[in-house]
């Protein structure tokens, strides 16, 4: 089963992408993982997910051959050959497109796919299907931060500096990010900074494993991030703590920012948020006066209808204090999924072509079309975001959908709409390792390759591109994802555009397609990646060393300056009221991941949290008449859910937290709001007005 004597790979879960080695257990001969001593990001470290990363790969429920939905079969599936599956899928797609046009077919991708597969999926949609409708689950993860970074800096790379700069920071603000549970092997960088005297501030409605290491924890109710940051900016301006030289020489828009924060006095912010004026002044002075500092954000403030503006305001902190583009300084939106960074760079987003090129830019279309060997006029225009794509299914505009590497029925907000939509499809093709909640509605379920079996490249949260080698052989009749895409293109009569000798050949074309773009990979090769243990993009030439630290001399806007934004805080899409007086917020647990398709099949981790447990404050428990034990019913305008409950003082009193890793009757996304940020089209997972009852 192993492809080499002691193969190495990378963990398939979070964006740290820790290196691991695969070997038989000396006592049982069962394959196991151990930390790799060679990958520089998390050398000799794996978290509990990485240590159990093979459990789902070897799981007996894994799909091993193509399946066709059949009511005549006992388990609802009929085993078919790949040739039969391809022929029938292609026949159905062609028939639908002849009747309704090319855009009748949509593609829904994932943030854990390799760069090569992400690239091919975008190309397949636009060249083989000639459809504009493609997006991916990364829209639910990084889109607000990506939009904010593009607006402020002119370019989006999750972290503007490498992880190795964190220990050089004297002041670190962690906003809406629970690194200890979501990126555990990143914690040593923070602990090293703390050991050297750094002050760490966490901003979160809950006390978390991350907040335990903080010097200051701000327990902020969801929806008040920009109010809080405006208070910090007000103090910095009022007390003349702004880096005037940096602001003048390297930014624009300061007067707009000054005007926006003028009314957000510490006293007013305390009244609005409950955060003491003394705490505001301590943080504002501490961050501004520190020689070096870093701000890291994540989904807590980004998964809101005001997520882009929230992120822009945290970026404002780094810019007005001049803490970016130099040692120990920077801004980082902590990417969540394994390849959430690379996945959005190379064509899975509705409006983008490879290299972060915009699909409606004539020069971008001409460049990519030339690489692909087609006329630029053949390229479709931009489509819609992930959730809007599913709405198009519900509305009947999209009648066929291909899903690769995602489980949108569990991960999407207001998922009863998604369930209804999936049942309307004339054709649903799901490429996955398991029969996920989404795959239950599929007409075809095609067996995918796992992380351990598929060679390719990934881009981690730093913007470091690295090579992940093949560690295990494919089991059964499983095929590589990139082969499935190319073979389906062949069945559709467009195979001439998908002729590759192997996955490295795909990467060469990807690199050519990105040349001259924002995310320029053209100087990266497999050989360089294997020799150098990863290269930071942009890397525009073979003799270019890569770019670990962004913005040392200029930003990516034409004038070389970053843009400051004056943010006027807005209400959430669904404010609390008398009928729904509490705030539901969702998030992750350390031992689960995303929609749980893989981790709920990992026994050692699933038994630690077999069901979701809601966290509520003792004040709220008393108010609803809940004793020390029992369950609660949470009701929103979209549905109701009964869950077990944990009473803890470590949460904002009017907020209830529920993890989202389960489907069916345990899916919290039955309740969540599908309102979207107007710029990023990110759903508002983090704020949902609910009522709560004791059962």
Q: Give mean pLDDT in consecutive 10-residue pieces for the chain, a chain of 695 residues.
A: 76 92 82 91 89 91 96 88 98 98 98 96 98 96 95 96 98 96 95 98 96 97 96 98 98 98 98 97 98 96 97 98 98 91 92 96 98 97 98 98 96 96 98 96 97 95 96 95 98 98 97 97 97 95 97 97 98 96 93 82 84 94 89 96 95 94 92 97 96 95
**CA-to-CA dists, residue 147 to 138, 272, 680, angstroms:** 13, 27, 6
pLDDT at 4: 63
pLDDT at 607: 86
How far is C-alpha 497 from the chain's CA centre? 30
**CA-to-CA dists, residue 483 to 68, 248, 530, angstroms:** 19, 52, 23
- Name the DSSP class of 24: E
3-class DSSP state of 344 = helix
CA-to-CA distance for 474 and 543, rounded, in angstroms? 36
The encoded tokens of residue 473 equal: 């052989």
pLDDT tens digit string along 626-685? 987 789 999 999 999 999 999 999 999 999 999 988 888 999 999 999 999 999 999 999
CA-to-CA distance for 657 and 654, rounded, in angstroms? 10
Spatial contact of 222 and 585, defined as CB atoms under 8 Å apart: yes
pLDDT at 628: 77
Spatial contact of 684 and 573, defined as CB atoms under 8 Å apart: yes
- Name the DSSP class of 127: I
Whether a cis peptide bond, with omega within 30° of 0, leads into 538 is: yes
3-class DSSP state of 331 = strand
Among residues 332, 398, 357, 397, the alpha carbon closest in space to that of 149 is found at 332
The encoded tokens of residue 8 equal: 């190495």
How far is C-alpha 625 from the chain's CA centre? 38
3-class DSSP state of 463 = coil
**CA-to-CA dists, residue 648 to 247, 430, 621, angstroms:** 43, 40, 9
| Residue whose pair of structure tokens reads 């636009």 in the numeric block | 126
Estimate the crossing angle of helix 225-238 against helix 266-273, to 10 degrees: 160
- Domains of the chain listed by start with CATH number: 8-51 (no CATH), 67-140+339-536 (3.40.50.740), 143-333 (3.40.228.10), 582-694 (2.40.40.20)
The encoded tokens of residue 474 equal: 């494919």
- Helices and strands: H and E segment counts in the chain: 23, 28
CA-to-CA distance for 163 and 152, rounded, in angstroms? 21
Torsion 10-13-14-15 (CA) sign: positive
Among residues 285, 287, 319, 288, the alpha carbon closest in space to that of 198 is found at 287
Among residues 450, 469, 470, 428, the alpha carbon closest in space to that of 601 is found at 450
CA-to-CA distance for 73 and 64, rounded, in angstroms? 17
């Amino acid at each position: 089963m192993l492809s080499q004597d002691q193969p190495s790979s990378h963990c398939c879960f979070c964006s740290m992408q820790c290196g691991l080695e695969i070997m038989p257990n000396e006592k049982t001969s069962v394959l196991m993982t151990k930390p790799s001593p060679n990958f520089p990001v998390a050398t000799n470290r794996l978290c509990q997910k990485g240590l159990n990363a093979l459990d789902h790969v070897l799981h007996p429920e894994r799909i091993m051959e193509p399946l066709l939905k059949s009511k005549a079969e006992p388990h609802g599936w009929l085993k078919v050959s790949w040739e039969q599956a391809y022929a029938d899928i292609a026949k159905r797609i062609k028939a639908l497109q002849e009747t309704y046009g090319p855009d009748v077919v949509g593609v829904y991708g994932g943030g854990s796919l390799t760069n090569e597969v992400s690239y091919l999926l975008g190309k397949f949609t636009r060249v083989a299907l000639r459809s504009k409708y493609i997006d991916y689950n990364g829209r639910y993860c990084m889109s607000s931060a990506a939009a904010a970074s593009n607006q402020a800096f002119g370019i989006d790379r999750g972290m503007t500096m490498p992880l190795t700069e964190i220990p050089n920071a004297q002041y670190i603000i962690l906003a809406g990010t629970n690194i200890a549970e979501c990126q555990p092997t990143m914690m040593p960088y923070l602990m090293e900074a703390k050991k050297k005297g750094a002050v760490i501030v966490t901003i979160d409605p809950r006390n978390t494993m991350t907040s335990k290491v903080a010097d200051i924890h701000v327990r902020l109710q969801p929806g008040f991030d920009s109010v809080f940051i405006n208070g910090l900016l007000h103090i910095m301006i009022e007390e003349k703590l702004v880096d005037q030289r940096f602001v003048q020489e390297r930014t624009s828009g300061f007067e707009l920012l000054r005007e926006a924060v003028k009314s957000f006095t510490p006293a007013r912010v305390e009244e609005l948020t409950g955060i003491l004026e003394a705490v505001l002044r301590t943080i504002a002075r501490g961050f501004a006066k520190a020689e070096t500092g870093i701000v890291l954000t994540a989904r807590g403030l980004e998964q809101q209808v005001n997520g882009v503006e929230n992120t822009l305001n945290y970026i404002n902190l780094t810019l007005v204090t001049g803490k970016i583009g130099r040692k120990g300084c920077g801004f980082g939106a902590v990417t969540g999924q394994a390849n959430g960074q690379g996945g959005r760079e190379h064509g899975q987003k509705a409006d983008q072509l490879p290299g972060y090129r915009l699909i409606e830019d004539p020069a971008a279309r001409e460049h990519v079309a030339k690489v692909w060997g087609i006329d630029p006029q053949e390229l479709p225009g931009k489509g819609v975001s992930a959730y809007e794509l599913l709405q198009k299914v519900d509305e009947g505009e999209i009648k066929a959908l291909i899903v690769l590497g995602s489980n949108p029925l569990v991960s999407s907000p207001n998922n009863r709409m998604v369930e209804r939509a999936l049942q309307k499809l004339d054709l649903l093709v799901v490429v996955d390792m398991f029969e996920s909640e989404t795959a239950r509605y599929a007409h075809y379920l095609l067996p995918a390759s796992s992380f351990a079996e598929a060679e390719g490249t990934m881009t981690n949260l730093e913007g470091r591109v690295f090579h992940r080698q093949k560690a295990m052989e494919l089991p059964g009749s499983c095929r590589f994802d990139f082969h499935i895409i190319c073979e389906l293109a062949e069945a559709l009569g467009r195979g001439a555009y998908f002729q590759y000798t192997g996955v490295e050949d795909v990467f060469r074309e990807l690199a050519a397609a990105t040349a001259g773009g924002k995310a320029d990979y053209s100087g990266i090769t497999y050989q360089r990646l294997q020799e150098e243990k990863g290269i930071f993009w942009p890397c525009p030439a073979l003799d270019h060393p890569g770019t670990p630290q962004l913005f040392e001399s200029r930003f990516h806007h034409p004038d070389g300056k970053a843009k400051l934004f004056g943010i006027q805080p807005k209400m959430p899409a669904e404010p609390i009221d008398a009928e729904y007086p509490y705030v539901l917020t969702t998030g992750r647990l350390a031992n689960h991941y995303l929609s749980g398709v893989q981790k709920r099949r990992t026994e050692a981790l699933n038994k630690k949290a077999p069901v979701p447990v809601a966290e509520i404050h003792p004040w709220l428990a008393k108010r609803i008449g809940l004793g020390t034990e029992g369950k609660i019913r949470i009701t929103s305008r979209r549905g109701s859910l009964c869950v077990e409950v944990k009473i803890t003082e470590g949460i904002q009193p009017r907020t209830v937290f529920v993890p989202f890793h389960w489907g069916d009757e345990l899916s919290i996304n039955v309740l969540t709001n599908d309102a979207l940020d107007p710029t990023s089209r990110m759903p508002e997972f983090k704020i949902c007005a609910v009522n709560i009852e004791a059962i």
